[in-house]
Amino acid sequence: MSDFPRTIPPEVLVGPVEPVGHGQIRAVSAITLTGATAVTGTSGPLGNSTDAALLRALRAWSDVVLVGAETVRAENYGGASVTSDTRAGRVSDGRAPVPPIAVVTRSFNLPPDSRLFHDTEVDPIVLAPESACGDRALSDARKAVAAAGGRIVSTGSGAPAEIVRRLRRLGYRRIVCEGGAHLLGQLVRAGLIDVHHITIDPSLTLPAHPPLIVNPDSGPGETPERHPLSLSGIQATSDGCVFLRYSRKHTDLTP
């Protein structure tokens, strides 16, 4: 019989939280023992009920859910949902009842009939560089996104720090990033993530793809990078899932 519990309260996995209004960025991911972040194209088969509860808890903690457009398409993203108790707590804290999904894109390739626009209580925010916002070739795609309910927001050059600053200027202090690999790579390289939540699914998958993080500037002869973290929490459930929480400090980006 396993010495580990069947489930773990999500607040234990989330760990200590800063007061409402404090700017913090968290990332949450699930990987297999061989490092893959999806099985048959999606992350759905990975993790367990505790992992799902952690994801819901982080969304409830957040002011906005940040995600890359490729992940939105692959996972068929809908809007975030919260319980009535969580909704009431958010309102009493002076926050919106439900956090919006903020999608990072350069192409505006977001199907207008997708769950992102129609299975949500809050219209999604569509973050794009100024060059894409003004590109005439993308005019029809922008119009389709706007007509579907997307709130298009320019992020200047599109650099990670500018994305974060723009979200914070809109009032979104607590940010949870749910991927994908390129967006996480950009945030990691820029040193912007305060807390990484990583669930390890107890399976060996082949091929070991897609990876957790992709170097945004990868190419032949690239220089390897190492970004050390501090382990701040480790838990496991009886089915073999391991829950890691890593922390890192960085310079605040408060405008």
Percent of the chain beyond pLDDT 90? 83
- What is the CA angle 231-81-200, rounded to 5? 30
Going by their DSSP bridges, the two strands 195-201 and 230-236 should be labelled as unpaired
Question: What's the confidence (pLDDT) of residue 229?
Answer: 94
Q: Is the pLDDT of residue 253 over 60?
A: no
Going by their DSSP bridges, the two strands 242-247 and 195-201 should be labelled as antiparallel
Q: Where does the pLDDT of residue 255 fall: very low under 50, low under 70, confident under 90, or very high at 90 and above? A: very low
Convert the pLDDT of each residue in 23-37 to its tens digit.
999 999 999 999 999
CA distance 184 to 214: 7
Domains of the chain by start residue, with CATH: 23-215+226-247 (3.40.430.10)
Question: What's the confidence (pLDDT) of residue 14?
Answer: 98
User: At a CB cut-off of 8 Å and minimum separation 6, what does 219 contact?
Assistant: none
Convert the pLDDT of each residue in 212-246 to its tens digit.
998 877 666 677 888 999 999 999 999 999 999 99
Q: Please name the residue that has the structure tokens 């990033």.
A: 177
Residue 180 in tokens: 């994908």
Alpha-carbon radius of gyration of the chain: 18
Question: What's the confidence (pLDDT) of residue 223?
Answer: 77
Convert the pLDDT of each residue in 46-105 to its tens digit.
889 999 999 999 999 999 999 999 999 999 999 999 999 999 999 999 999 999 999 999
Q: Where does the pLDDT of residue 150 fall: very low under 50, low under 70, confident under 90, or very high at 90 and above? A: very high
Which has the minimum average pLDDT: 11-15, 71-75, 137-141, 154-158? 71-75
Whether residue 62 contacts residue 174, with contact meaning beta carbons closer than 8 Å, is answered with yes
Question: What's the confidence (pLDDT) of residue 219?
Answer: 64
Whether residue 160 contacts residue 118, with contact meaning beta carbons closer than 8 Å, is answered with no
Convert the pLDDT of each residue in 101-119 to its tens digit.
999 999 999 999 999 999 9
Whether residue 111 contacts residue 137, with contact meaning beta carbons closer than 8 Å, is answered with no
Please tell me whether the overall predicted TM-score, pTM, comes out greater than 0.85 for this model. yes
Q: Is the pLDDT of residue 191 over 50?
A: yes
